[in-house]
Structures are given as C-alpha cells and as structure tokens.
Structure 1
Amino acid sequence: MGKVKDNKPASDSESSEEEYVVEKIVDRRERKGKIEYLLKWKGYDSSANTWEPKENLECPDLIKAFEQTRTEAKKEVVKEKEKDKEEKKKKPSKPSTTTSSTSSSKKKTESDAENDASEEEDKDDTASIKSSKSKTVAPETEFASSDDGMNGFEKGYIPEKILGATEANNELLFLIQWKDKDKAQLVSSKEARKHCPQLVIDFYEERLIWQSPDSTE
C-alpha cells in the first residue's frame, strides 16, 4: 500500500504525525497546472476520500496501475467510436425513388396510348360509317331517350340488335334494340364495343359491300 507525506483524515485523538495508508486511487484531475488524485484510505469509507497532489504521494505502483487503466479505458472509447463509424458506413442507403417514378411514368404512357388507340378506333368507325353506302339512321319514332341519363347497359338491359348508327357531336352512336323493350336507344360506340362487341361486328358485316374483280373493271 502507498503512503502520503501530509496529514490525512484522523480523529482528534490521533497524532498529527501519523501516516495514512492509501488503499486505492479513485479518480484524477488537474487544478492550477498540478495533478491531483482522489484517494480511498485504508480503514475509512468512501466519504473520507480526499484529493491529494501527486508530489505528496508515495505510492508509485498505485499511480502507475491507475494511469494504465485510465489509458486503456480511453482506447476502448476510441475503438467504440471507430466501430460505430464503420457500422454506419456499412448500412445500406435508402432505396431510390427512381424505379417507382419510372414505373409511374410507364403506366401513364401506357394509359395515354390506350386512350389514343380508343380515339383512333372511334375515328375509324365514324369514317367507315360515313363512306358506307348502306349508312342507316334510325327513324325518330324508334329512338327512346332516357330521363335519368342512364343507358340500357347501366340499367342492366340485354342488347338484342344494333339497328343503325349515326353521328352526334363528333361521336359515333349506335341505335340498340333491347330485349323485351319496345323502343331502341342511342348508345355511344365505346359502350357498345365494351358490352356487346359481337353485335357491333355483326352490324358492320351486314353492311359490307363485296365487289368482284370484274365489277371493278
């Protein structure tokens, strides 16, 4: 155990010349350019610990052991910090939004293409009806308008036959006869192709005009 030169904790009955034994060094500090150590005294509890200047101590082994432990503790702290930095570098970065953005643009492009194709089909249908010699417009007496703005498809009617076709507001309309209904109704070509494509095909086939090579000469 180490000793100190100066007087240390003592009761009134003890001699001021008595030397006290250092049990261990608890802490270290620097004050006014001098190094001081917090000492735990043998035979006393921690409440009696005192700060003593280094030059008053005669316990080089305890000081050396304390400084070595303190140095190793600092090294461990540095290692932990370096380890944390390495782990942060290894963490994968957040996924780029480029993929989702590209996917969204692709979907939008496909949707635009479908809309354009649908518009082209309407134009083709309109041109075909205009050029056909057998263009049929249903008599006004056969047309049934809907007060609630709903067509027969929306009401669940069953289409039986397409009676004719016409154009209104640059849109091709088919006059459709509903099953078990007295009057026909004009419905857009889009709705007709969607709900009864076969009736649309039958309507065009009935009005095709076939010409032989001899007749063209």
Structure 2
Amino acid sequence: MYWRRIYAYDARKDDVNVPAPTPTDQPAEEFSVEKILDKRSRNGKVEYLLKWKGYNDEDNTWEPEENLDCPDLIAAYESQFETSLRDTEDKNKIKIISEDSRARGFDRGLEPHKILGATDASGELMFLMLWKKCKEADLVPASQVNVRCPEIVINYYENKKIWHTKQTFKLCDLSVLRISFSTTVSPSGRVLILSANE
C-alpha cells in the first residue's frame, strides 16, 4: 500500500491546505521542483514558492519546508538570497556614504539668498537655505546662519506673518508697521528678540 499526498490550493488564502494522507494502491505521485522562487514565513513555518518542472508559472505553489525533499535547491536559494542581500546592503552603504560626503551648506562655497523655512525636528534648529545661482536648498544649522548672515535671518523673521504670544496667535502685516528691535543669538543658535519699539 502506498500513501499519496494531495495538495489543494486555496486562492483566497494564498496558502496550501494539506489534507491527511490517503491510502491508495498506486505509487505516490511525485512532482519535481525546477526552481525555488521565493520564501516566506506563515504561522511560524517557513514556506517556499516553487516552480514545478513541466508546469507553467500559474501552477507555482507555496509549500511548507517540511514537505520538500530538495535540500540542494533550498541551499542554492538560501545562498543566492544571502549574496543578493549583501549586495543590496553594500549598494545602500555606498549611496549613503556618497550622499554624506557631498558638501552641504556654506561648505559648498555658495552665497546665501534667503531662508525658506525652519525646523527643529532633529533637536537642533535648522534653516532651509536657498543659495544664489543654485536651485538646490540645504538644511543648515541655525548657529552657522546666525553668525554668517544675520541679516538674512532677521529678514526671514520679519517676513514671517504669524507671531506667537502666550494667549493668541496674531496675524501681522509687517510692511505697515515701523518696528525697530535688537536681536541676539542664544548659545543654542536661536535668534532672540530682546526689545521691540513701534
């Protein structure tokens, strides 16, 4: 008596349902694996996507690792996967290094034009600086901008139309007001308005 394993593919679950082996008088039907295409983990079990010899790609199925008898193909797939993973990591490292090594901010030797915006998302106040004769903008630490071009920083804050107070937000048109004020740069690189007179 031979045991025959029957696989039923349920497309709704994209999974393989394996019913209990059924006794039969015929020899077990064997399928040959041509290639392992992919790997996944389902319910804590490793499954491989198999390309069957003599069958179309539509007949590829996910099979649990314990049902497979092709250790050489599994080893070849795992080796190929490790190699491609290392290659991808190396390419990403090269890309990151080349991006980081590119000069930014004042190191590019460009003349600042204006500040487009500001952020302190990284924990340090940074200005998005637009440069003259250049279409690219860079995030530059406020401490550098405050020292190298304080007039641009003052202009940025003067043209900002929203001023924050403790109680409300006020919308001001600064072109109508004649305001003179003095500024200072704090140790953290922030520009502080010390006094304002109308």
The structure, 1 or 2, with the larger RCO (C-alpha pairs under 8 Å, 6+ apart) is 1
TM-score range, shorter chain: 0.3 to 0.5
- TM (norm. structure 2) is 0.42
**Which has the larger share of helix?**
1
- Indicate the structure with greater strand content: 2
